[in-house]
């Protein structure tokens, strides 16, 4: 996957096959399939998914639903502005009466993985070495006293090593980072108290201003350019902070629904920092909104609900009696071809 889009369909096919045959223990030919998709999914991607489901898995019926719509349903709303901050990207979409308004969709490549990269580079610039868990073991030399012994795995790849290092950096980010109440300022945060974090190999590191700076990249992406080793943005026009994306998305919609959207901004994503984003985003959007606008940012207090909001919304949608007539059936696929999915699942 890249920015929420499938890059390798063979891998997707393998994952689906594993899910159906080994985990769910079902025969796909006996079950209609509801697939959640990004708001920015292309017609080509949608048709490829449909073709795979009907030709390989022989499903009796199919429906493609947008992530933002399902998140909105999970919160009990048919109209809302969904801010989905995921691993590879952040997407803001307006949902009106159960449909995504495509002209409203705003995207940014700034997501959790980019912030993890920023944390890794920030630590590296301070001389911190993150050792993957598999590369050492702890040996007790005396009661309560451990010595770290290096283990040699000559056949591991660089990407495998990086994967494990990133997992640790991600945990550091989730544990110590806090979204600042006001825009990050290097001078103001220079003497902020540090927070300790113990790495798997036993060494303890101190994280200072970076724990506020890195989350603030969601509001001011160009802060990342002050971290040694982080590459510049290729297309800087698509790079803007969350408040700007929200206002851009709302302003692309009809004037008569803008107030309703501003009063129900939904935050979606599994990160623990989502709740911290809430107040800051509400404050900054309110400052830039029309005077009489009521701005309300909503996020479930339950991280599991936020993380699985798309799945929860899908289960709600699929259980509605009125939904049963919306399926794209195998008979329609055989009669009209795969492109008919664009009409059945707008």
Task: Please name which of 39, 62, 100, 4 lies closest in space to residue 330, comparing C-alpha atoms.
Answer: 62
Residue with the bigger pLDDT between 146 and 244: it is 244
**Fold observed for domain 112-226:** Actin; Chain A, domain 4 (3.90.640)
Q: Is the pLDDT of residue 164 over 80?
A: yes
Quick one: 9-109+236-344 is in which CATH superfamily?
ATPase, nucleotide binding domain (3.30.420.40)
User: Mean pLDDT across the chain, nearest whole number?
Assistant: 91
**pLDDT at position 256 over 80:** yes
Q: What is the DSSP letter of 214?
A: H
Q: Report the C-alpha gap between 90 and 242 in whole angstroms.
A: 8
9-109+236-344 and 112-226 share one CATH topology? no
Residue 140 reports pLDDT greater than 90: no
DSSP 231: P
Q: Report residue 302 CA to chain centroid gap.
A: 16
Kindly indicate the confidence band of residue 237, based on its pLDDT and cuts at 50, 70 and 90.
Answer: low
Query: What confidence tens digit (pLDDT) does each residue in 33-49 have?
Result: 999 999 989 999 999 99
Q: How far apart are alpha carbons 304 and 177 in whole angstroms?
A: 20
CB neighbour burial string for 115-146, b if at least 16 within 10 angstroms, e if fewer: bbbbbbbbbbeeebebbbeebeeeeeeeeeee
Among 49-63, 146-160, 315-329, the range scoring the smallest mean pLDDT is 146-160
Across 251-259, average pLDDT: 95
- Mean of the pLDDT values across residues 272-281? 81
CA distance 284 to 271: 20
In the chain, domain spans: 9-109+236-344, 112-226
Average pLDDT (199-228) is 93
Q: Residues with Cβ < 8 Å from 80, sequence gap 6 or more?
A: 72, 94, 95, 261, 264, 265, 266
Q: Is the pLDDT of residue 236 over 70?
A: no
CA distance 193 to 171: 20
Does residue 176 carry a pLDDT above 90?
yes
Print the SS3 string covering 127-160. CCCCCCHHHEEEEEEECCEEEEEECCCCCCCHHH
Residue 2 scores a pLDDT above 90: no
Give the tokens for residue 115. Answer: 């912030």
For residue 1, pLDDT over 90 is answered with no
């Amino acid at each position: 996957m890249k920015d929420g889009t499938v890059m390798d369909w063979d891998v997707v096919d393998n994952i689906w096959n594993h899910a159906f045959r080994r985990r769910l223990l079902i025969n796909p030919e006996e079950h209609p399939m509801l697939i959640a998709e990004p708001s920015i999914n292309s017609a080509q991607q949608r048709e490829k998914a449909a073709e795979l489901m009907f030709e390989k898995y022989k499903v009796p019926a199919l429906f493609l639903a947008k992530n933002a719509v399902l998140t909105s349903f999970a919160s009990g709303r048919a109209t809302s502005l969904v801010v989905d901050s995921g691993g590879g990207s952040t997407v803001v979409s307006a949902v009106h009466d159960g449909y995504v308004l495509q002209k409203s969709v705003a995207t940014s490549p700034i997501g959790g993985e980019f912030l993890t990269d920023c944390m890794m580079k920030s630590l590296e610039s301070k001389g911190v070495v993150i050792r993957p868990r598999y590369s050492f073991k702890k040996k007790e030399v005396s009661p309560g006293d451990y010595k770290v012994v290096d283990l040699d795995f000559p056949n591991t790849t660089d990407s495998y090593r990086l994967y494990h290092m990133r997992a640790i950096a991600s945990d550091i980010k989730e544990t110590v980072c806090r979204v600042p109440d006001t825009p990050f300022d290097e001078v103001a945060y220079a003497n902020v108290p540090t927070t300790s974090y113990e790495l798997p190999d036993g060494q303890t590191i101190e994280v200072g201003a970076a724990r506020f700076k890195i989350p603030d990249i969601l509001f001011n992406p160009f802060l990342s350019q002050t971290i040694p080793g982080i590459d510049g943005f290729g297309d800087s026009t698509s790079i803007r902070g969350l408040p700007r994306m929200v206002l851009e998305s709302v302003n692309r919609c009809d004037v008569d629904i803008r107030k309703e959207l501003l009063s129900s901004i939904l935050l979606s994503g599994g990160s623990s920092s989502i709740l911290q984003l809430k107040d800051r985003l509400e404050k900054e959007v309110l400052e830039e909104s029309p005077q009489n606008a009521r701005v309300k940012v909503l996020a479930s207090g339950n991280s599991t609900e936020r993380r699985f909001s798309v799945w929860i919304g899908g289960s709600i949608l699929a259980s509605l009696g009125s939904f049963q007539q919306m399926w794209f059936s195998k008979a329609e696929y055989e009669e009209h071809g795969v492109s008919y999915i664009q009409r059945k699942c707008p």
